[in-house]
Chain A
Amino acid sequence: GAVVSQHPSWVICKSGTSVKIECRSLDFQATTMFWYRQFPKQSLMLMATSNEGSKATYEQGVEKDKFLINHASLTLSTLTVTSAHPEDSSFYICSSSGRANSYEQYFGPGTRLTVT
């Protein structure tokens, strides 16, 4: 399966600041990557689909101006949480689709964001 990395693995920031999370597909070119958030002891919530070279597709209820997604290359997608608030504290996970089967997803290890 594909190898996906995320950076940083955890970050603490102050309320009002912005935080950028990187997601890299290490062993193949991913035209599509996905961003999820996960609250403690809950399932994954899809935030947006990141498409290389075009605008991201956001799920209903996700503010696109707050969660900026950039997929500038086939191996890198970034999620920037702008003007972070404590309620944005969560576990953010990215994934890329598998090479052989687009419905299989390979997840990064996640980024734990804490906003103080």
Chain B
Amino acid sequence: TQLLEQSPQFLSIQEGENLTVYCNSSSVFSSLQWYRQEPGEGPVLLVTVVTGGEVKKLKRLTFQFGDARKDSSLHITAAQPGDTGLYLCAGDRDDKIIFGKGTRLHILP
């Protein structure tokens, strides 16, 4: 059973479009992190959300933590080719870090 479900698994869209990817669970997490990984490199931490309902913005990226702290979303506005990568969410539960399987995003120029 996958504790953190990410959807969609794959997404290919044109440059300039908006998109949202999701990270869902039936469990409550103390916090959720989003990472981006480019091919051949390690993941890079984008943001941590801690409080239910919290919204954080990082330039064109908007992260939201669900009110019940069971899910999170990442919205990208006006996607650019540089946004291409694997987006991973990770949750902290019982002192263990759990990763989702990721959303592979490809932005077409």
Contacts and interface: CB of A to CB of B under 8 A. Distances in A.
A106 B37 CA distance: 12
For chain B, what secondary structure do more than half of its interface residues adopt (helix, strand, loop), or is it mixed?
strand
Contacts of B88: 43-44
A40 to B, nearest CB: 9
Interface in B58-109: 86, 88, 90, 92, 97, 99-102, 104
* Interface range for B: 20 to 34
A100 B108 CA distance: 37
Given A103-B97, A105-B97, A44 B43 contact: yes
Interface of A: 1, 4, 6, 34, 41-44, 46, 91, 93, 95, 98, 101, 103-110, 112
Interface of B: 30-31, 33, 35, 40-45, 48, 86, 88, 90, 92, 97, 99-102, 104
